Structure 1
Amino acid sequence: MDITVHRPGELTTADRLAWTAMQSKAHLHGSPELANPFLSPEFALAMGHCRRGVRIAVARQDGEPAAFFPFQRSATGVGRAIGLGVSDAQGLVHRPGYEWDAREMLRACGLAVWEFDHLVDGQRAFETGATGSFASPVIDIQDGYEAYLAHLRREAPKFVKSTFAKERRLLRAGGELRYVHDERDPRMLRTLMRWKSAQYRRTGRSDRFTQTWIIQLVERLFHTRTESFSGLLSVLYADDRPIAAHFGPRSERIICCWFPAYDPAFAKYSPGLLMHLRIAEAAAADGIAYIDLGRGQKQYKDSLKTREISVSEGWVMRRHPVAFGHRAHRAPVRALRNAVVERPELFEPADKLLKRIGEIRSGRSHM
């Protein structure tokens, strides 16, 4: 196996085209998850502009690219999935039938350990290091929006009835609704980030938009547009006032739900749900196969999903002191977080506590 390691900007045009071609044809070979936009060369290139240590390993067979493995590397040889913490799909993009040895790949990349938290299915060499697998709900729209709506009416009739009732009330109270599937106004992107920051604070979560590199990444992806990839900003307006928005990457076949938010003044109308239905309708018309709602328990995801795919977390290691030290440091944190998130009797009180903390931070406490 001939493996070379490059910075994102060092990839040749031919290599990038080969990478994109592997993603475009992945569904034809039974690996639709490899078409995820978080596994695209465009995402790797954007990450390379925003974070240090971003590298791409290119494996070749008979002189031709057989696989692309994007990762981040520290000076001590600790490796992480590219965009760990914000990317919802991780792994190695490869041509059909390609197999690799995990430790050999790590050795070629100069890594003692490689950590992941959204490893996609079909990565057998890396799955040996998985410590847990988790459901990631999706919305199937390959058969069209009407087929999806029929599924919702059959599986969740109360949800459909209440959502469209809220839409009618919103029309009476807020005026005409207008949906823009691909909004190009950067001011609206900044509005979305403000909404999302406020939501993080309101619910007691860590505000991702206090991190400069995440802001830079979102803005760079917003301006990235190729035939196979774009940063998609979708906005729902009521009487020309924005009430809900979403930003996330899209490939030829998949849209990833990344940063959805809404104006709290319209919360009683569930504008986020109305927006997601319009995203599904426009995406279906655009030839998208499915919308990946992302790992994590949320009531709105349960209401919208048609099925679930699986992602894994864990790490693959070489026998190296750095690897053992990294795992010893990270394993207890992950175990505690997953124990809380996956068990309702623990998650619900923890969630209420975080929201209470958020109220205090936002100055809305009546104490």
Structure 2
Amino acid sequence: MDITIRRPDELTAAPRRAWHHTMDESPEYANPFLAPEFAIGIGRQHGGARVAVLHEGGEPVGFFPYERNAFGIGRAIGLGLSDCQALVHLPGVTWDAQELLRACGMSIFEFDHLVQEQRPFDRHVTGTFASPVIDVKPGDGSSAEWLRSSYPGLAKTTLKKERRIGRDLGEVRFVFDERDPEMLRRLMQWKSAQYRRTGRMDRLSRPWIVDLVGHLFEVREEHFTGVLSVLYAGERPVAAHFGPRSSSVLAAWFTTYDPELRYYSPGLLMHLRLTEAAGRHGVTLVDLGRGDKEYKEWLKTRELRVGEGFAARPHPVAAAHRMWRRPVRGLRNTVPAHPRLREPADRLLKTVGTLRTSARVTSESTKPRPR
């Protein structure tokens, strides 16, 4: 097995085609977060992004995107944003984790959404978690007919709320692939406010993530497209979603809504309309991502398993990094693992969000105004 290392933007058309072919050959690697376009997008923001290309007989048979710093500490590419991580390889290809780390110059490799089929990493997995998905069956009828057949338990209440918002604001319509960049900016504004309101870390306060989203929005390829979807009532946008799709998988990524319209359950309406429309556009699987959320329990048809952990070689830097990161991961996983803690934790985060928002409003109101 020969392994060469490349920057993502150094991959020419031929290796990108081989990477796409590898995704097509193995359904578990069809996720858009495993596409070269996502690695290239991260590489535009992070100088340490690399791709290890595995060769057999001179032909590329595997692709391993990762990030590495000057100390040899590595992580899955887009860690914290990516909902699917793997060494993408053709069926039957075998590889060794230690050999891979040496070739990449990494003493340790951290991951948190590893595809379950990555056997050489098995002994390095410290925990596995459910990642809900929706198996999509395209319908020939209306969205209401699809909803009644796919989600009979949700259909009555959802359709009632959709009719109500239509009466109050105007006819409900859904655009699966909205190309208006102004709507992308609106989505990021809503999502940023939602993060602050709920006490979560505001990912979109980081310029590099905003730049990444803007870049992926412009990518229009068969194996990777940045899809912006918007639910409108009349001319008013109600909810929006942005996420990448491959030829067959749509990743649920940034979903948000107008907080003034929260009583209409716009987030749920968005997910249902998105799933129905995705089926009409050739998607067979919607990946909701790891995490325990009530709407995921309502919508999922099954669960995949993803792993987190640290693949390491004997090295003092690896030992120190693992000692530092393991308690952080353990604390983060404690609440989801104990259902009784979830509601108090959510209340605490919302209280923090309220205080944060109030402080921001107060700060804005006390700024001296120009005369």
Q: TM-score under structure 1 normalisation? A: 0.94
Q: Which amino acid counterpart does residue 288 of structure 1 have in structure 2?
A: V
- What whole-Å deviation, never above 9, does each CA across 1:134-157 have from its counterpart, x for those lacking one? 11111111464867752421xxx1
Alignment of 1:79 with 2:100, yes or no, is no
Find the aligned partners of 1:36 and 1:90 in 2 and give their Cα distance.
Answer: 9
- Residue matched to 2:345: 350
Could you say which residue in structure 2 is the equivalent of 1:152?
A: 151
Q: Which residue does the alignment assign to 2:210? A: 215
Q: How does 1:124-143 map to 2 (within 5 A)?
A: 124-142=119-137
CA shift, 1:20, in A, is 0.5
* Aligned equivalent of 2:259, options 264, 268, 271: 264
Distance 1:216 1:192 in 2: 14
1:119-268 paired onto structure 2 within 5 Å: 119-142=114-137, 144=139, 149-153=148-152, 157=153, 159-268=154-263
Matches within 5 A, 1:101-112: 101-112=96-107
Percent identical pairs in the alignment equals 57
Partner of residue 304, structure 2: 309
Determine whether 1:70 maps to 2:65: yes
Instruction: For residue 172 of structure 1, give the secondary structure of its aligned residue in structure 2.
Output: helix
C-alpha distance 306-298 of structure 1, shift in aligned 2 (>3 A): same
Match of 1:17 in 2: 17
Residue 76 of structure 1 aligns to a residue whose secondary structure is coil
1:326-363 deviation digits (Å, cap 9, x = unpaired): 10000011111111222111222111100011011111
Q: Residue 279 of structure 1 aligns to which amino acid in structure 2?
A: L
**One of 32, 35, 42 as aligned partner of 1:40:** 35
SS where residue 151 of structure 2 aligns?
helix
Task: Give the RMSD, CA atoms, in angstroms.
Answer: 1.5
- 1:254-278 Cα shifts (integer Å, max 9, x gaps): 0000000000111111111112111
1:150 corresponds to which letter in structure 2? Answer: S
Q: CA deviation at 1:251?
A: 0.1
Taking the aligned partners of 1:18 and 1:235, their CA distance within structure 2 comes to: 34
**What letter corresponds to residue 149 of structure 2 in structure 1?**
A
Following the alignment from structure 1 to structure 2, what is the Cα–Cα distance between the partners of residues 275 and 210?
24
CA contact (8 A) 1:141 1:148 kept: no
For residue 29 of structure 1, what is the aligned residue in structure 2? Answer: none
Question: Unaligned stretches of 5+ in structure 1?
Answer: 27-31
Q: Secondary structure at the match of 1:200?
A: helix
Structure 1 residue aligned with 2:83, among 74, 84, 88? Answer: 88
Aligned equivalents of 1:93, 1:343: Cα separation in 2:
33
8 Å contact kept, 1:141–1:289: yes
Count of residue pairs brought into register by the alignment: 356
Aligned equivalents of 1:141, 1:350: Cα separation in 2:
33
Unpaired runs of 5+ residues, structure 2, are 361-371
- 1:287-332 per-residue CA deviation (whole Å, 9 max, x = no partner) reads 1111001111111111111111111110100001111011000001
Give a deviation string over 1:178-201, Cα, whole Å, max 9, x none: 111001111100000000001001
Tell me the CA shift for residue 44 of structure 1. Answer: 0.5
Determine the structure 1 residue equivalent to 2:278: 283
* Amino acid paired to 2:185: R
Contact 1:151 1:306 in 2 (8 A): no
**Secondary structure in structure 1 of the residue aligned to 2:75:** strand
- Secondary structure (helix, strand or coil) at the match of 1:115 reads strand
Instruction: Give the corresponding residue for 2:367.
Output: none
Distance, in Å, in 1 between the alignment partners of 2:90 and 2:232 is 42
Which deviations, in whole Å up to 9, do the C-alpha atoms of 1:159-217 show, x marking residues without a partner? 32211111111111111011110011111000000000010011000000111111111
Q: 2:366 corresponds to which residue?
A: none
CA distance in 1, matches of 2:14, 2:42: 20
Q: Among 25, 49, 53, which residue is 1:58 paired with?
A: 53
Distance 1:342 1:221 in 2: 33
Is the alpha carbon distance of 1:7 and 1:39 closer, same or farther for their aligned partners in structure 2, counting shifts above 3 Å? same
Identify which range, 138-147 or 59-68, moves more after superposition: 138-147
What is the TM-score of this pair, normalised by structure 2?
0.93
Listed one character per residue, the Cα deviations across residues 47-91 of structure 1 (whole Å, up to 9, x for unaligned) are 110112000000000000010000000000000000000100001
